[in-house]
Structure 1
Amino acid sequence: MGAIKSAFSLLPSLRPANIAYEELPSYDHSQNASPLVASPTMSTGLGKRSLSKPRRLGFLLRVSPKRLCITTIVIFFAFVVLAGGGLQARQFYADQTAAMREKERVPYHWEAYPGLGGFYNGIRALVKYADWVPEQEAMPDTQIKIHDAPPFDPVVVNPYPDYSSAKYLSEHHPVKRCYVDENEKYPAPDVYAYPGIPAGMTAPYWGAYEVLDMAPDRCWERFGRLGPYGYSYDPAQGGLGLANHSTHLDAEKVEKMFNKVDYRGVNWGKAQKICYEKNKQRFEPTSPGTHKANTSKKTLKRTAYVLRTWSGYEYTDIQLLTLRAMINELSLKSGGEYDVHLLVHIKDDSIPIWASEEVYNQTLRENVPEEFWDMATLWSEQMIRTYYPGPFRDEDNFVNMAGSSIYTVYRSAHFALQWFAQQHQEYDFFYNWEMDLRYSGHYYEFHEGIAKWAKEQPRKYLWERSSRFWIPSLHGSWPKFVASVEQEMLEKGENPVWGPVSFKTGTTGMLTPPNATEPPRKFEDDDYEWGVGEDADLITFDPIFDTAKSNWVFRDDVTGYDTSLPIPPRRAAIITVSRLSRRLLNTMHEETWRMHHCMFPEMWPPSVALHHGYKAVYVPHPVYFDRKWPLDVMDKTFNHPPTVNDGPFGGGEHNMQGASFYYNSGFSGALWRRWLGAPENGHGGKEDEEGYSDRMCLRGTLHHPIKHESVG
C-alpha cells in the first residue's frame, strides 16, 4: 500500500445502496416522505412507539393488483417452507422476499446524496486541527497521508479547573482527591486522547464544539478512552480483556500512561459517598430548612445523574465501561459535583419492593451488577399508583393514542423521576439519562460545557431559537444565527414567548407561576439581557417544538385539563434525555399530585416550563450525518418544512435515520460499533483497520440509540 491515499478511498465505497442500518421502529421502506417533493408521508409516523390499527380481511379488496400479486407469491413461498422445503427453500424464500421488497421500495430523497466516509479514517492519518479540511469541503481528488504510526502521542485530557491554583483556592474550597476503592489504592484514573483529528474527518452539520467550550482539536480512540476502565487488560488484573481482537498500534504507549485499576470488588456507590463527604464543604446546603454557610468562599451546586434502567436489562461489558466512565469523570474526578444513580424499573408489580427490605435487596441483587448496588434505587408502577393516586380519568384526556394506562412508563416515564427528585432535594439539577446513550468524549467536559452555555443564554427569543437546528456552515456563527431568528420572527409577525404563558384552565385550574419567572421589563425594552447568568431549568438535546404545529402522533396526549376548552399550549423535545432543575421537577410533581395534570413524557417537562415561565434551552451539540446533504435542503427539511406533515417530528422523521443522534437513527449505532472495532455492513473490523489507517478516532459525539454493541 502506498503512503498516500485518497480521503474517499480508505474504505470501500459508502454509496447509499451499500448501507443497510438495523431497522428501528418507524423505519418504513415503503414511502418517500421527502418534504421537498409531493409524496406521501410515512405510513406509521408514530416514532418509537409505533401503533398499528387492526386490519380486516376486507382490506384485500382495496389493495392494488401489484400488492395482491406480491402477497400471493409470499404466501406461496411460505407454504413451500412450511411444507418442509428445508434450508435451501428457506434461503430461496428469503432472497425472493428481499428482492421483492427492494424492487417495490421508493427511496427517500436523502438516499441519493453521496455517502461520507471520513468518520472511518484512523490514528495513522492524524493531522493538526489547524491543517484539517472537513470531508464536505475537500476537493474530490484530495489526498491524505497515511503514516506508519500515529504522528502524535496521546495526552491526558483534563477539562477540570486547576484545583491547585492560587486563583481557584482564593475563590473556592480545596478539592480533596477521590479514589475508586475504600483503601485509597487506586486514585480516580485519567483518560487519554490524541491531539489532532484524522485528515478528511467529516464535520458535524449541526452545532459546534467551540461555542460549548469543548476542545475541537482532539479525537478519541478506544484504548485511551476506555482502557483506564478495564477495556484492554486481562481479567486477572481486574480488567475485561476486550482488546484481544483489536488492532494494537500504539496501544502499548497508551497503556503505559495509566495505572491498571483492579475493578473486582469496587463499590461505586460507596466511592461516590466517600468522595462527597470529603468535599461537602464545597457545596451549598440546599436541603429544606438549611442555611447557607457563613463563608467567603464560593459554593457549587450539585447534580444527580440518573440513568433509567429496568429489571432484566443486560449489562454488557461496554455498558459497564460506560457506567465506570460516567462515575469517574462526573463524580470522583470533580470532587463530588455529580452523583450517578441507577433508577431501576421493576416490571413485575407483584413484587412488594416497598414492603420488605429483604425483598427489596433480593430484587436489587437479581437485577443490578454488584459494583452498582449501592447507587441503585428500585421503583415499580404499582408503587407510583400509590404515590400519585389521581384520579386521572379517561374523560379528562384529550387523546390517548397509546390506549394504555396513565401509570405505564410508556405514557408517564417522568412519574418515577419526579418521585426520585422528591426523595433527593439535596440536588439542584437532575439528568434524565437513557441506557442506550453513548458519548465518545469526556463526560465532564460535555456536561459542564452545555450547562455553562445554557446559563449564558438570554431569554429573548429563547423558545424560538430552541425550536430550530443551528447549521453553522449555512447560518454562520451563533450570533448570526441569533440575529436570523429574530429577523425571521419579525418578518412573520409572530408573538414570541415572554414569561409564563397563560391560557384558560376552566374547572381544573393551574398552579400559580412563581414571581421570579415574570419578565423584569417589556419584551421590546430588553436588549438580550434577561436570563443571562440564569441556570437553565430544562436542557434538551433536540429542538423544543410547538406540538400544535406538528403532526407528532402524541401531541394531544394531555390529561387532567378541562376538555371543554381548547387544549393547553404545549411544547415537546423528542427523546426524554434532558437536564431538569429541582424547581421544575417540584412543579411537575405539584401539577401531578395536586392538580392531576399530565402529558406524554417528551411533552410534559417542556410544557410545564412553558406554562410557568421557566428557562428552557435546546443545546446545539455537534450532530453528524452519514451523507453529504445540500445545506439549503437540510435547512428547508429540518427548519422550514413546506407543510406540517413534512416536519422532522412526525411524518418527516425518516430524515433523521442518517444522523448520529435521534431516537430512530440507524447510523448512530453503526458508527459506534465501528469505533469499537466491530465490522458493520460488510466494512470495518480488525483486518480493515490494519489495511488502511488503523483505529477510528472520533471527536466527542453523543450517540443514540445504541441497541446492541460489539467489540469485534
Structure 2
Amino acid sequence: MSRLSNLDPRKLFVRTRFHYEKLPGADSQSSSPLFASPLIKSWKNKERWRRPRMSFMRLIILMVTTLLLASMLGSGIYRRHKWNEEQRKKGQRQLHHWEHFPRLNGYYNGIRTLVPFSDWVSEQKFLDSAEPGNPEDKISPKYPAKSKEPPLDPVPFNPYPDYSTYEYLNEYEKVEQCYVDEDEKVDLPDIYAYPGTPQNMTAPTFGSYEELGMDANVCFDRFGRFGPYGYSYSREEGGLGMSGKSESWGADKIWSWEKKIDYRNVNWGAAQKKCYEKNKIRFHKNESNKEEEKAQPAKKKLPRHAYILRTWTGYKYSDYQILSLRAMINELALKSGGEYDIHFLVHVKDNSIPIWASDAVYQQTIQDNLPKEFWGMATLWSEEQMKMYYPEPFPNNVYNHAKAPLHSVYRSAHFALQWFSQAHPEYDFYWNWEMDLRFSGHYYEFNTQIGEWAKKQPRKGMWERSARYYIPELHGSWKNFTEMIEEETFNSDEKPVWGPPKFENTGMLTPPPETSPPTTYLNDHYKWGVGEEADLITFNPIFDPAKTNWVFRDDVSGYDLELPEPPRRCAIITVSRLSKRLLDIMHRETYLMRHHMFPEMWPPTVAFHHGLKAVYAPHAVYFDHNWPLETIDGTFNHPPKPTDSVFGWGEHNQLGSSFYYNAGFSSALWRRWLGSRENEEGGTAQEEAGTGRLCIRPMLFHPVKFERGAE
C-alpha cells in the first residue's frame, strides 16, 4: 500500500526520450519504485532474478491504474453525454403551427434580378402557379441574372409636390429652399431607388402600398438609400466609410448626379431652425401670418409636425443609426421646407442630475449623450421631473402587473410626450417614434401618405376596421374590406362605436362637442369624418384588451373600483401620430382627473372615450413563412377564444413578421439588407456569387436592436 500511495499515475503515460534515472536529483528519488535500482540494473548481474518480480508488480500497478483511469474517464464521458442529452431535450420545443408553413425566400433575390414592376410576379403567386416538381425550381427567379451589373439604373426618388408649378403656388405659399450648411452652399441630398422589383420578391401579407398612395413600383438598396448620407464614401471625405467590404456592382452610378457631403461639421439643429424661419409663412400656427393675410388673399396653410425620437442617456448611436437619423432630418424637415421638426426627447435616467436647475448641467448632459451633429435638437426629461409635473395620487389601480412605480418610464412613457406637447404647442401633430425602428423607403412619402390616407377615412366603422389586419389578397379592395367589416358588425352581438361611448364612471371630462355624431349610424353613408384629420394613427390594430389576455390590460388607475372597469382600446407598440387635441385631453385627464393607463392603452382609450378620430394605418407587413390566407385571417382577425389572441399569449404568431414588438424576422431581414451574414446565410461572398445585394420595397422594421453590415 505504501508503494501505491507514492505512485504518480500520470507518469505512467508520459512518453519521453529521456531516462528518469538521468534527470537531476535522480538519486533522491531512489525510494520510489519507479526509480529503484533493480529497475535499471542488467538482468545479467546477480540481482537479475529480482527484475521479473518487480516487473510483475509494476504490471499490476499499471493495470490497476489504467482500470481506475478508464473507469473515471468512462464515467465522465457518460455523465457528459447524459448532461448534453438533458440540455438538448430542454432546448427542444414544439414547433409553432406557422413554422410548418413553407419558408419565403423572395426577399433575398438580389439586385441582378430586377424587372419592371409590370413584369413582377410575387413569390406567393409564383409558388401557387409553379408546376409540381423540384421545390428549388419554384424559388428561382423568372429572369435569372446574366450579368454582375443590375439590369436597371437607379434614379433620384422625389415624393415631394412640384413646388415650382403655377398650380402649387396658386394654392400654397412659395417654398424657400433649405440647405445643409449655414452658408447655404451645400444642397440637400437626394436618395435613389431602382425603378423595378427583384423578380419573385415576396409580397406583403398585411397592408397595401397602393391603398396608402405610395409608389409600389420601386425598391431601395443600401447604396441608393444611405450612400448620400455618408455610407459609401470615406471619413476623410466626410462620410462614414462603411461600404468597403460590400457587394457594390453598379453602386457608383448615383454619383453621376449626387455630390458627396462632408458631414463632419454639420449642425442639423441650426439647419432645421433656419429652414423653418425661411418658410414659416406656409404654416397656419404662425402668428405673423394673420397680419399678412389681411393684406392679401389667404392661401392654404399647412400643419406642422414634431417628429419625436424617444431616447435616453447612455444610448449608443451606431453609424447605421446615424444614417437613419440624417435621413429623417433631411427628408422630413429640410426638403419639405419645414413641415417637420425632428426632436430628441432624452430620458435622463439618473434622477439626481438637476437638469431643471442649471443650464450648464443641461447642456453638458446633452453633449455627453448625443452625437455632436444632433446637439441642437434635444429636450431632456426625467422621471423625477414627471413626478413634479403630474404629482400623486393616482388612486384605485386595478392591477399593476409590471410591479413598477406609476411614474416609471415603463408604465408612463406618455407623460413626457404630454409634457412636451404643452411645452411646444406650436405643432399640430406629434409623432411618437422609437429608436429601434428602421425604414427602408423615403420618410416623407411614408409619413405624409399615411396622414393623407387617414384624413380620407370615414368615421363609420372606423373602430371596427381598425381592429382588423387588412389582407389584400384575401379581402380584395379597401371598399370590399369596409363592406365586409360592416356586415361582420351587423351580424355580431355588439353595437358599432358611434361617437363617445357611454359607461358608468365617477368623473369624466366632457368630450369635445364636435365629436357628437351628426346623424345616426344607419343614416350615415360613410360621409362623417371624411376630410377630418386623424387624432391618432397607429401602426398595429386598435383592439379591445378586455377581450384578450394581454398582460397589461388591467393597468388602469383613477377610476372607481366599485364600478366596472371603463371600456378600453389598445395598440401594441407606442409608435403613433397624435394630434395636439388628443394630447391636450390626455394631459387634462392626467392632471385633473388622475386617470392613467399603461402607455400602449392610454392614447387609444382617451381617443375612444372622447369620440376622437383614430385609425390603424395598413402599412406593408411581411412574414417569413407562407401562411395560407384563411389561416392567417383566422389567427390574427378571428381568434376562436381570448387565449388565442395575437395580442397576448398568441403573440408567438408575430415572431415571423417584419413589424411587432417581439418580431424576430424584422431585425434579421434588415441586417441582411445591410449586407450582413445572418444564420449562416447572406453576406458579401453569397451576394457576389449569387444575385447581388438586396433591393427591397419601402418597409417599416421593428424591432432592430442592433445593426451589422458587410463587415
Please give the range of the TM-score, normalised by the shorter of the 2 chains.
0.7 to 0.9
**Residue 347, structure 1, aligned to residue 336, structure 2:** no
Query: Deviation of residue 122 (structure 1)?
Result: 1.1
2:353 alignment partner AA? I
CA displacement, residues 343-402 of structure 1 (integer Å, 9 cap, x when unaligned): 000000000101111111111111111111110100000001000113223xx1011111
Query: Deviation of residue 304 (structure 1)?
Result: 0.2
CA displacement, residues 544-566 of structure 1 (integer Å, 9 cap, x when unaligned): 00011111010010011111110
- Structure 1 residues 605 and 89, CA gap change in structure 2 (3 angstroms): farther
In structure 2, the residue matched to 1:594 is: 592
**Residue 551, structure 1, aligned to residue 541, structure 2:** no
**Residue 241, structure 1, aligned to residue 241, structure 2:** yes
In structure 2, the residue matched to 1:573 is: 571
Query: Deviation of residue 470 (structure 1)?
Result: 0.7
- 287-296 or 563-572: which moved more? 287-296
2:440 alignment partner AA? S
1:192 alignment partner AA? Y
Aligned pairs for 1:30-69 (under 5 A) are none
Contact 2:280 2:286 in 1 (8 A): no
In structure 1, the residue matched to 2:325 is: 323
- Structure 1 residues 304 and 91, CA gap change in structure 2 (3 angstroms): farther
**Residue 144, structure 1, aligned to residue 133, structure 2:** no
2:279 alignment partner AA? N
Query: Deviation of residue 493 (structure 1)?
Result: 3.8
Distance 2:87 2:333 in 1: 49
TM-score normalised by length of structure 2 = 0.85
Distance 1:434 1:357 in 2: 27
**Residue 401, structure 1, aligned to residue 401, structure 2:** yes
In structure 2, the residue matched to 1:626 is: 624
Aligned pairs for 1:81-160 (under 5 A) are 99-103=88-92, 105-138=93-126, 139=130, 141-142=137-138, 143-148=142-147, 149-160=149-160
Contact 1:392 1:560 in 2 (8 A): yes
1:238 alignment partner AA? G
Report the number of matched residues. 620
Distance 1:363 1:410 in 2: 22
Contact 1:227 1:255 in 2 (8 A): no
Structure 2 residue matching 1:572: 3-state secondary structure: coil
In structure 2, the residue matched to 1:82 is: none
Distance 1:365 1:480 in 2: 53
Distance 2:288 2:326 in 1: 31
Distance 1:703 1:437 in 2: 6
2:375 to 373, 377, 382: 373
In structure 2, the residue matched to 1:274 is: 274
Distance 1:580 1:97 in 2: 51
- Structure 1 residues 200 and 337, CA gap change in structure 2 (3 angstroms): same
CA displacement, residues 190-222 of structure 1 (integer Å, 9 cap, x when unaligned): 000000000010000001101111100100000
Distance 1:144 1:488 in 2: 43
Query: Deviation of residue 187 (structure 1)?
Result: 1.3
In structure 1, the residue matched to 2:447 is: 447
1:615 alignment partner AA? K
Distance 2:669 2:611 in 1: 39
Distance 1:174 1:689 in 2: 46
In structure 2, the residue matched to 1:467 is: 467
Distance 2:519 2:79 in 1: 72
Distance 1:302 1:252 in 2: 36
- Structure 1 residues 145 and 245, CA gap change in structure 2 (3 angstroms): same
Distance 2:566 2:291 in 1: 38
In structure 2, the residue matched to 1:310 is: 312
Structure 1 residue matching 2:376: 3-state secondary structure: helix
Distance 2:172 2:146 in 1: 46
Query: Deviation of residue 102 (structure 1)?
Result: 3.9
- Structure 1 residues 93 and 327, CA gap change in structure 2 (3 angstroms): farther
Which protein has greater RCO, CA pairs closer than 8 Å, 6+ apart? 1
Distance 2:502 2:288 in 1: 30
Distance 1:443 1:546 in 2: 30
In structure 2, the residue matched to 1:611 is: 609
1:384 to 383, 386, 407: 386
In structure 2, the residue matched to 1:652 is: 650
Distance 1:89 1:665 in 2: 40
In structure 1, the residue matched to 2:17 is: none
In structure 1, the residue matched to 2:5 is: none
Contact 1:285 1:291 in 2 (8 A): no
**Structure 2 portions without partners, runs of 5+:** 1-76
In structure 2, the residue matched to 1:47 is: none
Distance 1:94 1:221 in 2: 47
Query: Deviation of residue 325 (structure 1)?
Result: 0.2
Distance 1:164 1:235 in 2: 36
CA displacement, residues 395-431 of structure 1 (integer Å, 9 cap, x when unaligned): x101111111110000010000000000111000000
Aligned pairs for 1:408-427 (under 5 A) are 408-427=408-427
- Structure 1 residues 285 and 236, CA gap change in structure 2 (3 angstroms): same
Query: Deviation of residue 290 (structure 1)?
Result: 7.5
Query: Deviation of residue 167 (structure 1)?
Result: 0.6
1:364 to 357, 361, 366: 366
- 244-253 or 614-623: which moved more? 244-253
- Structure 1 residues 358 and 133, CA gap change in structure 2 (3 angstroms): same
Contact 2:281 2:288 in 1 (8 A): no
2:320 alignment partner AA? I
2:701 alignment partner AA? H
Distance 1:89 1:275 in 2: 72
Percent identity of equivalent pairs: 59
- The structure that is helix-richer by fraction is 2
**Residue 226, structure 1, aligned to residue 222, structure 2:** no
- Structure 1 residues 291 and 343, CA gap change in structure 2 (3 angstroms): farther
Distance 1:675 1:318 in 2: 12
Contact 2:285 2:427 in 1 (8 A): no
1:702 alignment partner AA? L
Query: Deviation of residue 326 (structure 1)?
Result: 0.3
- Structure 1 residues 502 and 710, CA gap change in structure 2 (3 angstroms): same
Query: Deviation of residue 491 (structure 1)?
Result: 1.1
**Residue 514, structure 1, aligned to residue 512, structure 2:** yes
Runs of 4+ in 1 over 4 A off after TM superposition: 88-98, 286-292
In structure 2, the residue matched to 1:435 is: 435
- Structure 1 residues 224 and 568, CA gap change in structure 2 (3 angstroms): same
TM-score normalised by length of structure 1 = 0.85
1:437 alignment partner AA? L
**Structure 1 portions without partners, runs of 5+:** 1-87
- Structure 1 residues 482 and 90, CA gap change in structure 2 (3 angstroms): farther
Aligned pairs for 1:289-304 (under 5 A) are 293-294=293-294, 295-304=297-306
CA displacement, residues 283-308 of structure 1 (integer Å, 9 cap, x when unaligned): 01267997894442111000000000
CA RMSD of superposed structures (Å):
1.8
Query: Deviation of residue 505 (structure 1)?
Result: 1.3
Contact 2:269 2:375 in 1 (8 A): yes
CA displacement, residues 67-125 of structure 1 (integer Å, 9 cap, x when unaligned): xxxxxxxxxxxxxxxxxxxxx9999899656522344x111001101100000111100
2:247 alignment partner AA? T
- Structure 1 residues 601 and 287, CA gap change in structure 2 (3 angstroms): farther
2:115 alignment partner AA? V
Contact 1:144 1:200 in 2 (8 A): no
1:121 alignment partner AA? N
Structure 1 residue matching 2:682: 3-state secondary structure: coil
In structure 2, the residue matched to 1:530 is: 528
Distance 1:550 1:531 in 2: 29
Query: Deviation of residue 265 (structure 1)?
Result: 1.2
CA displacement, residues 558-609 of structure 1 (integer Å, 9 cap, x when unaligned): 0111111100000000000000000000000000011111100000000000
2:108 alignment partner AA? Y
1:275 alignment partner AA? C
